[in-house]
Chains A and B, each alone.
Chain A
Amino acid sequence: SQTIHQWPATLVQPVGSPLSLECTVEGTSNPNLYWYRQAAGRGLQLLFYSVGIGQISSEVPQNLSASRPQDRQFILSSKKLLLSDSGFYLCAWSANYGTVLVGEKLFFGSGTQLSVL
């Protein structure tokens, strides 16, 4: 069966510090991968998605970046965090049927609660 691992679960970082969140998927090949952010009491905002190694699409301009160095590894980074980067970050995967279909029956990691102080 497929599993998705995301860490850390909680992170408190000072403004201006770097960020690295990692997500890995097991039990499937060539998944679509996603990073979402959920602000308190708000809906999910898609930040990045990837349909293959080295292929990253950004949905919103920001000081965050994403990378996919391996098929089942997705990393969210920042060189300098802002207060507004605080939120609940979720990694997710969906099956890739060989099209550019993005999103359908997403399976989420357990999330990272990031507080920037």
Chain B
Amino acid sequence: RKEVEQDPGPFNVPEGATVAFNCTYSNSASQSFFWYRQDCRKEPKLLMSVYSSGNEDGRFTAQLNRASQYISLLIRDSKLSDSATYLCVVILDNMLTFGGGTRLMVKP
């Protein structure tokens, strides 16, 4: 089992739709969690941290479910510009592990 797993997608959604991705992690002792966004042939950029209490930034909501060992990213009112690959990141024992990414394609 991979340490950090994501559905590679692609998720094809129309503009304005709500879409959610999950990311599962295998080690229950994992300490910190993040979501990064990566555009095609570009570098990943930090999107948001994931806190135990959940956090929201505009149309984006990140949540952590420690019991089931996954984090989620919810995007409301999808825009064309949201099309990208979303990478989850898990930190354990000072080591950072990236998921393989979920590709999102928002269509007009």
- A and B are partners in one complex rather than unrelated chains: yes
Instruction: Say if the beta carbon of A102 comes within 8 Å of chain B.
Output: yes
Q: Which chain B residue lies CB-closest to A45?
A: B98
Number of A-B contacts (CB under 8 A): 47
Contacts of A27 in B (CB 8 A): none
- For chain B, the bracket of interface size reads 20 to 34
Contacts of B94 in A (CB 8 A): 99-103
Min Cβ gap A25→B in Å is 14
Contacts of B49 in A (CB 8 A): 105
B contact face: mostly helix, strand, loop, or mixed = strand
A contact face: mostly helix, strand, loop, or mixed = loop
Please, what's the 1-or-0 string for A34-67, where 1 marks a CB less than 8 Å from any CB in chain B? 0000000111101000000000000000000000
- By a beta-carbon cutoff of 8 Å, the part of chain B in contact with chain A is 8, 32, 34, 36, 41-46, 49, 87, 89, 91, 94-96, 98-101
Q: List 24 A-B contacts (CB under 8 A).
A: A42-B100, A43-B99, A43-B101, A44-B44, A44-B98, A46-B96, A90-B43, A90-B44, A100-B94, A102-B95, A102-B96, A103-B89, A103-B91, A103-B96, A104-B91, A104-B96, A105-B34, A106-B36, A106-B44, A107-B46, A108-B44, A108-B45, A110-B42, A110-B43
